[in-house]
């Protein structure tokens, strides 16, 4: 898990350095050198980071899902496999970003704007929806599934374990108090503790909340962590893709409004 956190941190730092920074400079100064190869590299680098960030985040969630929901198969997640999975995520990101090599330079004032070379507005719309689904929507569904299952399993296991432990401890302490009154110094046997456990279990059924008070804190902590991951993912990506999809329906919006809006909403990405 620690290795995946390192990979995720490196990926998100690369988003800040190679996506947000150059995009902001490009949109603020409205200038790009008259150089098509540089334009292609710029477009490719700024997009590949977004794909990689989402894909590595999915791998991190998958690692937690397997470790908690399928512990018997958790041993397959060795460091070598983590390296391979991360490399696979970056490879998929590189492949998904290849359409960005098809670019064009548009004259804008004294300089140029580096834009994707899409023939029609329908192509712009199709590519925008593809990016939305592959970078945001599908990863969001996977995150909800993985962390939802984790919450359910932790909820069930913590409740069962803490209830049983509480019942056993209470039964043992009750027996010790009783034997102390009788001045018996020996410890309770397993059968004696089991007898008192069964007796106490009947009372626990009538009042389970008195036994499982400790479950609430662990349950709330897990839910908070899960909610934080999914909420941050939604909060960081929703503004960007909202602006992108809105712009894909209106070319004038792309040329005017997005020049100011997209750099601002892009600043949310470092919070991942």
CATH number at residue 10: 1.20.1070.10
Give me the domain span that covers residue 126.
Answer: 2-271
Q: How confident is the model at residue 128 (pLDDT cuts 50, 70, 90)?
A: confident
Tens of pLDDT, residue by residue over 236-263, are 888 888 888 887 776 544 444 444 444 4
Question: Pairing state of beta strands 103-108 and 111-116?
Answer: antiparallel
Query: What torsion do the CA atoms of 70, 76, 77, 79 make, to the nearest 10 degrees?
Result: 160
Cβ–Cβ < 8 Å for 222, 150: yes
pTM beyond cutoff 0.75: no
Q: Which run of H or E residues covers position 105?
A: strand 103-108
Higher-scoring residue by pLDDT: 229, 134: 134
Domain count, the chain: 1
Compute how many other C-beta atoms are within 10 angstroms of the C-beta atom of residue 32: 19
User: Token pair 């569904």 is at which residue?
Assistant: 141
Query: How far apart are the C-alpha atoms of 252 and 33, rounded to whole Å?
Result: 23
68-116 pLDDT, tens digit per residue, is 888 877 777 788 888 899 999 999 999 998 888 888 777 777 777 777 7
Is residue 156 within a helix (H) or strand (E), and if so which, with residue range?
Answer: helix 138-181
Categorize the per-residue pLDDT at 222 as very low, low, confident or very high, splitting at 50, 70 and 90.
low
- Which tokens is 2 given? 């620690």
pLDDT tens profile 28-58: 766 677 778 888 888 888 889 889 989 999 9
Contact 131, 71 (CB under 8 A): no
pLDDT digits (tens, 9 = 90+) for 156-215: 876 655 554 555 555 455 545 555 544 444 455 555 544 444 544 444 444 444 334 444
């Amino acid at each position: 898990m620690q290795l995946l956190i390192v990979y995720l941190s490196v990926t998100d730092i690369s988003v800040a350095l190679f996506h947000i920074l150059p995009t902001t400079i490009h949109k603020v100064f409205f200038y790009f050198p008259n150089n098509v190869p540089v334009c292609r590299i710029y477009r490719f680098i700024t997009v590949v980071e977004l794909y990689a960030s989402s894909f590595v985040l999915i791998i991190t969630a998958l690692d937690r899902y397997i470790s908690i929901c399928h512990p018997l198969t958790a041993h397959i997640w060795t460091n070598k496999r983590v390296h391979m999975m991360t490399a696979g995520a970056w490879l998929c990101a590189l492949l998904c970003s290849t359409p960005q090599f098809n670019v064009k330079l548009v004259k804008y004032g004294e300089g140029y704007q580096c834009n994707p070379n899409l023939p029609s507005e329908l192509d712009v719309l199709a590519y925008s929806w593809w990016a939305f689904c592959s970078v945001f929507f599908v990863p969001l569904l996977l995150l909800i599934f993985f962390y939802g299952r984790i919450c359910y399993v932790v909820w069930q296991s913590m409740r069962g374990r803490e209830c049983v432990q509480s019942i056993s401890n209470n039964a043992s302490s009750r027996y010790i108090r009783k034997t102390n009154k009788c001045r018996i110094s020996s410890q309770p046997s397993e059968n004696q503790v089991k007898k008192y456990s069964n007796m106490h279990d009947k009372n626990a059924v009538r009042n389970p909340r008195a036994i499982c008070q400790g479950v609430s804190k662990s349950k709330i902590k897990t839910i908070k962590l899960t909610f934080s991951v999914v909420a941050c993912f939604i909060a960081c990506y929703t503004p960007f893709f909202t602006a992108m999809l809105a712009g894909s329906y209106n070319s004038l919006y792309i040329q005017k409004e997005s020049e100011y809006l997209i750099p601002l909403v892009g600043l949310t990405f470092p919070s991942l």
